[in-house]
Chains A and B, each alone.
Chain A
Amino acid sequence: MLDVARLRADFPLLAQRENGHPLIYLDNAATTQKPQAVLDAIADYYRTTNANVHRGAYDLAIRATEAYEAARATLAAFVNAWAPEGVVFTRGTTEAINLVAGAYGRTAVKAGDSVVVTAMDHHSNLVPWQMLCQERGATLRMVEITEDGRIDLADFGRALERRPRIVAFPYVSNALGTVNPAAQLAQLAHAAGAVVVVDGAQSTPHLKVDVQTLGCDFYALSGHKMLGPMGSGALVAKPELLEAMPPYHGGGEMISRVWDDHSTYNKIPHKFEAGTPNVEGAVGLAAAITYLERIGRERIADHEQALGAAAIDKLTQIEGVTVYGPRGRGDRAGVVSFTYGDIHPHDIATILDQDGICIRAGHHCAQPLMRRLNVPATARASFYLYNGLDEVDALAGALVKAGALFGYVPA
């Protein structure tokens, strides 16, 4: 386990109290807290380096551009991107996937084609494909999940028989914590001639990710789920795919020459970064990556898996609690989705909040998945490097209290 007490001291917000209790923040799949190093990097950028990027002839603007491009290189190395120019900064995973659907999808997908998604996809890796398929007259095929919350490989195989243009899936499920066999899925999809889009929102913060080993074509990630600022994120893509794609947004920065009635476009990745970018976001994200690498992603993954396993162990001992998703260690990240008898998950979250415990309740932006689990919503505790086993105990304790309020007798 990591030295949680030491790590927590790096996160100013975690010193706060909530409803009179020490803050127990277990909603890390939604967003993470930020270490002082990230806050300092953002403030330092504005104190010492701020200017618009890629256009200044003066030294300050050159330093701002260098800081922005250095952040790109840091992120590229972090996920072993094909090349730094294959990293397009976006507002996050959602925008990255919309970029692929809007720019790649609109040229590659024709009427009668199919696009494959899974029943565990976040709405951000579903709705853009729905919109694309509706626009192109293509078919969207949703691959089913197994009862224990994994992608149904048999159904995945059947979906590939139609030789889809695009196959999209999450590396790690935000609602269930399932770690999908992404490399295997990418290989199967490629063998069927598809381009592979991986939603990396939940994997990048928690696992050692190497997009080249994964063998995908597009990989989307969010900075705010990995200690970075909100509104930071990226699309990591094979450069040759980006080269061939039309632009996504039009405006400044993405152009090469502009005439009255047409334009030529900048080289990648700038072709996809219209307008003034979120430089503070990129700089803050780079600081977050440096922080994570100092601790080590394998150690972080081990720590979270231990917390997840402890939480499943404690929660399943409470009569009436149902935990969703796979049980095996190693194929599950530190995300525990559960329900408790007929207590609505929102009631659970509200009652836990009285003890300073923040969990998520709802459909987790995965309504098709909730329908398959046959629940309107679940409660979800999700862990990160600054959570400890004592917080798992507090979660279980508060849950028993919530049960008592609803007339459940502790076992």
Chain B
Amino acid sequence: MDTSPPDPQLSALYQELILDHYRRPRNKGTLEQATHAVSLNNPLCGDEIDLQLRVDGDIIKEVRFIGRGCSISQAAASMMTQLVKDKSIPQALALADRMRGTRAPRGTKPWASCAPWPVCRGFPSASSAPCSPGTR
């Protein structure tokens, strides 16, 4: 596993991306006719995500979330909603699996489980999978 520090320019790009999604979350809100809903919270750090889907047949037609938490958790939720919209359930599950596969090795850094990997790889402590809406 490559543990060298991320390229500064790449870090800046991801930082910008995270802040953009944190400040202007996509698909934030609630659905009137949700077919699926889940509320997740991490009692350790207080991250909260309420996620709603409207699934038609096999396709995720609409997705909305509301949540509170650190920039990484909320930006990850926002990005995840963009990624799964209009995907089939198997496609969405495959994405979630891929996300899990990119998690940091044990003992490395916290945010790694939550979001864009290269920039997060450099951070410790919150090894908490629950703060990642994409990976539960």
Interface positions of A (Cβ within 8 A of B): 19, 342-347, 350, 353-354, 361-363, 376-377, 405-407
Name 25 interchain pairs, CB-CB below 8 A, sorted by A.
A342-B23, A343-B71, A344-B70, A344-B74, A345-B70, A346-B45, A346-B47, A346-B70, A346-B126, A347-B70, A347-B72, A350-B110, A350-B123, A350-B126, A353-B123, A353-B125, A354-B123, A362-B44, A362-B46, A363-B46, A376-B46, A376-B48, A376-B69, A406-B19, A407-B19
Which residues of B are found within 8 Å of A343, using beta-carbon distances? 71
Residues 13-64 of B at the A interface (beta carbon under 8 Å): 15, 19, 23, 44-48
Which residues of A are found within 8 Å of B110, using beta-carbon distances? 350
The answer to whether A362 touches B45 (Cβ under 8 A) is yes
Docked CA distance A370–B124 (Å): 26
Question: Chain B interface: which size bin?
Answer: 20 to 34
Given A344-B71, A362-B45, A363-B46, do A350 and B125 touch, yes or no (CB 8 Å)? yes
Interface positions of B (Cβ within 8 A of A): 15, 19, 23, 44-48, 68-72, 74, 110-111, 123-126
Which residues of A are found within 8 Å of B123, using beta-carbon distances? 350, 353-354
Which residues of B are found within 8 Å of A406, using beta-carbon distances? 19, 71
The answer to whether A350 touches B111 (Cβ under 8 A) is yes
Which residues of B are found within 8 Å of A376, using beta-carbon distances? 46, 48, 68-69
Which residues of A are found within 8 Å of B74, using beta-carbon distances? 344
CB distance from A359 to the nearest CB of B (A): 12
CB distance from B112 to the nearest CB of A (A): 12
CB distance from A357 to the nearest CB of B (A): 13
CB distance from B136 to the nearest CB of A (A): 18
Docked CA distance A350–B125 (Å): 8
Which residues of B are found within 8 Å of A346, using beta-carbon distances? 45-47, 69-70, 126
Which residues of B are found within 8 Å of A19, using beta-carbon distances? 124
CB distance from A350 to the nearest CB of B (A): 6
Taking A344-B74, A350-B125 as given, write out 4 further A-B residue pairs in contact, using a Cβ cutoff of 8 Å, ordered by the A residue number.
A344-B69, A345-B70, A354-B123, A376-B46
Docked CA distance A377–B124 (Å): 20
Which residues of A are found within 8 Å of B69, using beta-carbon distances? 344, 346, 376
Docked CA distance A363–B69 (Å): 11
Closest to A370 in B: B46
Closest to B120 in A: A350
Name the residue among B46, B47, B69, B123 with the largest chain A CB count within 10 angstroms: B46
Which residues of A are found within 8 Å of B47, using beta-carbon distances? 346
Name the residue among A345, A346, A377 with the largest chain B CB count within 10 angstroms: A346
The answer to whether B124 touches A353 (Cβ under 8 A) is yes
CB distance from A19 to the nearest CB of B (A): 8
Closest to A348 in B: B70
The answer to whether A350 touches B70 (Cβ under 8 A) is yes
Docked CA distance A345–B68 (Å): 11
Which residues of B are found within 8 Å of A353, using beta-carbon distances? 123-125
Which residues of A are found within 8 Å of B15, using beta-carbon distances? 405
CB distance from B111 to the nearest CB of A (A): 7
Docked CA distance A102–B69 (Å): 35
Closest to B67 in A: A376
Docked CA distance A343–B46 (Å): 14
Which residues of B are found within 8 Å of A344, using beta-carbon distances? 69-71, 74
Which residues of B are found within 8 Å of A354, using beta-carbon distances? 123
Docked CA distance A346–B72 (Å): 10
Which residues of B are found within 8 Å of A342, using beta-carbon distances? 23
Docked CA distance A346–B44 (Å): 11
CB distance from A123 to the nearest CB of B (A): 10
Docked CA distance A343–B123 (Å): 17
Docked CA distance A366–B45 (Å): 13
Closest to A351 in B: B123
Which residues of A are found within 8 Å of B19, using beta-carbon distances? 406-407
Docked CA distance A407–B16 (Å): 10
Docked CA distance A367–B95 (Å): 34
CB distance from A406 to the nearest CB of B (A): 7
Which residues of A are found within 8 Å of B46, using beta-carbon distances? 346, 362-363, 376-377
Name the residue among A350, A376, A406 with the largest chain B CB count within 10 angstroms: A350
Which residues of B are found within 8 Å of A362, using beta-carbon distances? 44-46
CB distance from B78 to the nearest CB of A (A): 14
Docked CA distance A377–B70 (Å): 10
Which residues of B are found within 8 Å of A377, using beta-carbon distances? 45-46
Docked CA distance A363–B74 (Å): 18
